[in-house]
Amino acid sequence: MNKLFVLIISLICFTYPAYSIEKDFIVEEFLLNKNIEKPIVNDNYNYQSTKRLPIKMTVLTPIKSEKDIFEGDNIELKVMENVFIDKKIIIKKNTICTARVETIIKNGMNGIPASIILGNFYIPDIDSNKLQNKYEKFGFDLSLLVYPIKWVLTPLPPLGSLTNFIKGGHAKISKKDIITIKYYPNQS
Amino acid sequence: MKIINYAILILSIAIFSNSVLANEEKLAKEQEIQTKINDCGYKILNSNQIENRIIFTYDDNEKESILKNNKTLLDREVIIYRNAYKNMENIDEMAAFIAREIVIASRSYDDVANGFLRSLQIKAAPKKFEIVADKQAVDFMVKSGYNPIGLITYIQKTASQKRQDLISTHNLTSKRLATIYEYIYTKYPYYLKENPYFNTESYQNFLLTSTNNRKMLEEKIKNSSKENLKYE
């Protein structure tokens, strides 16, 4: 009887870890003790009025290439002109705003250009939910030139494949580039 | 003889009406699925202020035919095949699939010749745009009130793991999953902390199979590094 009891207990002890659930060490280490707010959801939209105002901005520090920045970086922008609603200024010229580098796409074969996607725009006193939150800047696109050459050369192998080595341009954002995002003031 | 004729007539009426009923039942079921897909798709479009027209269609075929053109890029029509649908265990996974396709469809509106060139680039180099679509799908899902963990569990269940991605048109699925996880960690950590899918088999399997990649991310967070990780 005792032997049977010992056997059952040892079986439980040995098999228990097999049923334990996998823990997420990243959550346990970095998030568990933090107070994190739920991200804002835009589910109260109302498109009865689709009035939208363009907000024009420029970067404070130019980005020479997508290699100079990292995804997740915040960059500073400056509003280029006053934004009005019913003759009332809602965003003043030269207001400093921020945006986040969301994604960087490296330039690729066949002339495909690099691109920098900015998002998470923050403009003081403006509800971010009412902003169209994406801007993408592409590098010089060579694919319009490369694809026809590729198709012409395809019957003469391997010449067609040589166009694979032509790479697209790097993405730059200079102070002259106007970053325009839309603001939907009437959205609830 | 007359009795036999009557019996045959009654039997054929019964078979006919049965098949009509079965067809109607099938149609009603498909209609229900289509409504669910439309609601989810348009909610994502509206919440994210996407001004491009995109439609959503449920297709009862098992999967896309190899000979068919890519409808997402060509017609801006998101098609959900039965094979994809049967893996959607919850609304978040459905939103994950639709949000990814919306990213691709809306990109096909940009640039030269009404988006022809951009569509060509996506078709020619899908690997490049795959991770972009994953990340933007996360943003779209969050803004429209869906849980982005659904994207992880859906990809975990549906995308197979190739041997390598060096000379492939697609990224390794493990790499995509790790990138999505990192993106959610940096931008929307709330969903990792309050994770209703934590105990599901697919998410547990993701945790099990992504240990090495998450260890790399752990090091990155500890060192406050910004460099892009080379996930396996």
> pLDDT tens across B132-175, in order?
999 999 999 999 999 999 999 999 999 989 888 878 888 999 99
Helix (H, G, I), strand (E, B) or coil at A83: strand
Q: Which of A25, A41, A184 sits opposite B49 (nearest CB)?
A: A184
Residues A175-185, mean pLDDT to the nearest whole number: 92
Tokens representing residue B213 in the block: 């990649």
Q: Nearest-CA distance from A3 to chain B in Å? A: 36
Q: Which of B135, B145, B227 sits opposite A103 (nearest CB)?
A: B135
Tokens representing residue B224 in the block: 């406050």
Unique residue bearing structure tokens 């990243």: A26
Higher pLDDT, B118 or A117: A117
- Record the pTM: 0.86
Confidence bin at A16 (pLDDT 50/70/90): low
What confidence score (pLDDT) does residue B214 get?
Answer: 96
CB pairs under 8 A between A and B: 105
What confidence score (pLDDT) does residue A65 get?
Answer: 85
Say if the Cβ atoms of B121 and A132 lie within 8 Å: no
Task: Judge whether A47 is closer than 8 Å to chain B, CB to CB.
Answer: yes
Say if the Cβ atoms of B214 and A109 lie within 8 Å: no
Tokens representing residue B3 in the block: 């009795």
> pLDDT tens across B27-50, in order?
999 999 999 999 999 999 999 989
Confidence bin at A47 (pLDDT 50/70/90): confident
Say if the Cβ atoms of B47 and A132 lie within 8 Å: no
What confidence score (pLDDT) does residue A19 get?
Answer: 52
Say if the Cβ atoms of A36 and B144 lie within 8 Å: no
- CB-based contacts of B211: which residues, under 8 Å, 6+ apart? none
- From B145, which residue of chain A is nearest by alpha-carbon distance? A41
Higher pLDDT, B113 or B80: B80
What confidence score (pLDDT) does residue B37 get?
Answer: 97
Confidence bin at B231 (pLDDT 50/70/90): very high
Is the pLDDT reported for residue A20 higher than 70? Answer: no
Is the pLDDT reported for residue B11 higher than 90? Answer: no
Number of residues assigned to chain A: 188
Distances (CA, A) of B68 to B64, B71, B192, B219: 7, 8, 38, 45
DSSP A104: E
> pLDDT tens across B57-89, in order?
998 887 766 656 678 887 889 999 999 999 999
Confidence bin at A148 (pLDDT 50/70/90): confident
Say if the Cβ atoms of A105 and B188 lie within 8 Å: no
What confidence score (pLDDT) does residue B68 get?
Answer: 65
Of A11-15, A117-121, B140-144, the one with minimum mean pLDDT is A11-15
Confidence bin at A60 (pLDDT 50/70/90): very high
* Per-domain boundaries in chain A: 51-183
Tokens representing residue B135 in the block: 């990340």
H or E stretch at A56: strand A53-59
ipTM of the complex: 0.82
Confidence bin at A163 (pLDDT 50/70/90): confident
- CB-based contacts of A44: which residues, under 8 Å, 6+ apart? A187, A188
- CB-based contacts of B34: which residues, under 8 Å, 6+ apart? B56, B57, B58
When scoring B104, B121, B188, B214 by the number of chain A Cβ atoms within 10 A, the one with the most, hence best to mutate, is B121
What confidence score (pLDDT) does residue B196 get?
Answer: 96
Residue A73's φ and ψ, nearest 5 degrees, are -65, 145
What confidence score (pLDDT) does residue A137 get?
Answer: 92
- From A27, which residue of chain B is nearest by alpha-carbon distance? B193
> pLDDT tens across B114-129, in order?
778 888 888 878 888 8
Which residues in chain B are closer than 8 Å to A108, comparing Cβ atoms?
125, 128
Query: If you average pLDDT over every residue of chain B, what do you get?
Result: 89
Of A2-11, A132-141, A164-173, B91-100, the one with minimum mean pLDDT is A2-11
Is the pLDDT reported for residue A15 higher than 60? Answer: no
d(CA B162, CA B174): 9
Q: Which of B143, B145, B226 sits opposite A72 (nearest CB)?
A: B226
Higher pLDDT, A42 or B6: A42
- From A33, which residue of chain B is nearest by alpha-carbon distance? B193
